[in-house]
Structure 1
Amino acid sequence: MPKSNVYLYFDGNAEEAFNFYKSVFGGEFAMVQRFGEMPDADKMPDETKNKIMHIALPLAADDVLMASDIMEGMGEPFKVGTNFSISLSTESKEETDRLFAGLSAGGKVEMPVQDTFWGAYFGMLIDPFGVQWMVNYDKNYQ
């Protein structure tokens, strides 16, 4: 059975927002990755390199609030009200493929499921009802 968490998108102020959330909820960031850590980061503008690619703040044993800054030209543009996804963490590649295929049927694939440079098997989609989903199998945490 997959676990679900909320994944938020920000228009360049994810770090500021998550420092605020950390002050409210407490705890420590489980992960902070910047766009400058991506392969080929030397080809992106300097002002983009320090933006948040992924940040995670555990809220409880199985609950994690996650986010990233939206990069222009990558997926849907930033829009308040639709700046979130439901992130599913699966237990296998097979479960990832099954859920991704089911949720994307009649919808729109934003990023096909694939192995990623950060070590996960991951894909993004918008279902037929306009809900944004991320489906993620991270073999490093199994």
Structure 2
Amino acid sequence: MRLNAYLNFDGQCEEAFNVYERVLGGKIDFMVRYDEMPEGNMSAPELAKNIMHISMKVGDTILMGSDAPPPYFQKAQGISVNINTDTPEEAERVFAELSEGATSIMMPIGETSWAARFAMFVDRYGTPWMINCPKPM
């Protein structure tokens, strides 16, 4: 069994995943727009080029997402996508790049009792993130 995060967007899915791919060193391996669905485009014409589904491999995990049609889109609440890094430098780089234009920074990158670096923020696309670089045991 494997758990994967699935992110919903309000029309910015492709842009967000292009940023995530660059910052996280991932590789988008699947993307389909509403108007490319084999079943046909059942959405409003203005949504035809929005993303129906996208999948990106990052390390040994997969991050997925889509542009939710307007009546179904809801901002993410009560969750965060957690990024574990191996070095404080990597944590600082990821934070600097992903938090650019952030809508909220709940905890800026810094040392905590449990982590060499830790941060919590909501990026410019509405995705809540945590970055964690554990202290050596």
Residue in 2 that maps onto 1:64 = 62
How many Å separate the matches in 2 of 1:44 and 1:9? 16
Which of 59, 75, 100 is residue 79 of structure 1 equivalent to?
A: 75
Q: Report if the CA contact (8 A) 1:9-1:83 is conserved.
A: no
Q: CA deviation at 1:46?
A: 2.7
**Contact 1:8–1:83, Cα closer than 8 Å, also in 2:** no
Q: Cα RMSD between the aligned structures? A: 2.4
Structure with greater helix percent: 1
- 5+ residue gaps, structure 2, are 81-137
Question: Structure 1: which 5+ residue stretches go unaligned?
Answer: 85-142
1:15 and 2:14 matched: yes
Superposition deviation, residue 72 in structure 1: 2.5
* Contact 1:57-1:66 at 8 Å conserved across structures: yes
- Displacement of 1:66 in angstroms is 0.7
TM value normalised by structure 1: 0.49
TM-score w.r.t. the length of structure 2 is 0.51
Q: Which residue of 1 aligns with 2:132?
A: none
Checking the alignment, whether the CA contact within 8 Å between 2:9 and 2:73 is kept in structure 1 is no
Aligned-pair identity in percent equals 35
Larger Rg: 2
CA distance in 1, matches of 2:73, 2:23: 28
The residue identity in structure 2 corresponding to 1:81 is Q
**Does 1:45 pair with 2:39?**
no
Alignment of structure 1 residues 1-142 onto 2, 5 Å: 2-38=1-37, 39-41=39-41, 44-61=43-60, 63-73=61-71, 76-81=72-77
